[in-house]
Amino acid sequence: MNTWMSALLGGVLIGMAASLLLWLTGRIAGISGMLGGVLLPKRGEIAWRLAFLIGLVGAGAAWLWSVPGAYVPRQGFPPLLLVVAGVLVGIGTRMGNGCTSGHGVCGLGRLSLRSLAAVLTFMLTAVITTFIVRHVA
């Protein structure tokens, strides 16, 4: 499948999942919030979060299984650097009151100005980081 077609299909599926979750339950499909709610659960909140997260991972696994070679992971990253990056992302999602999925997919769809500011910050940071990693470091 062409890269643009798989990206389009993935975007449509993400949008549908986020829309259905909001429409059917009134919940936002912010992955960091869902994962946080699984790690520090509140009564009556864990089942839907687990179902969504399992569906998210399961759909990705099904895609990889059904389309061999669709994704080839990049190699050569030092494990410690990946752990540090993951911790920094976690800190950033806590500071920004959400992640790219919550702000970018759901917040912008609801015309949230806070989400617009968060997404612009995410994107600017990504552009600067990519420039530094590829051209300075």
pLDDT tens digits, one per residue of 41-66: 888 889 989 998 999 899 888 888 88
Helix segments in 44-112, DSSP class H: 46-66, 79-95, 100, 108-109
**Which structural domain, as residue segments, surrounds residue 50?**
3-136
Give the tokens for residue 101.
Answer: 């999925």
Domain count for the chain = 1
Find tokens 């569906």 and name the residue: 55
* pTM summary value: 0.72
Separation of alpha carbons 119 and 101, rounded Å? 10
Residue with more model confidence, 66 or 127: 127
Of the candidate ranges 53-62, 81-90, 96-105, the one whose mean pLDDT is the lowest: 96-105
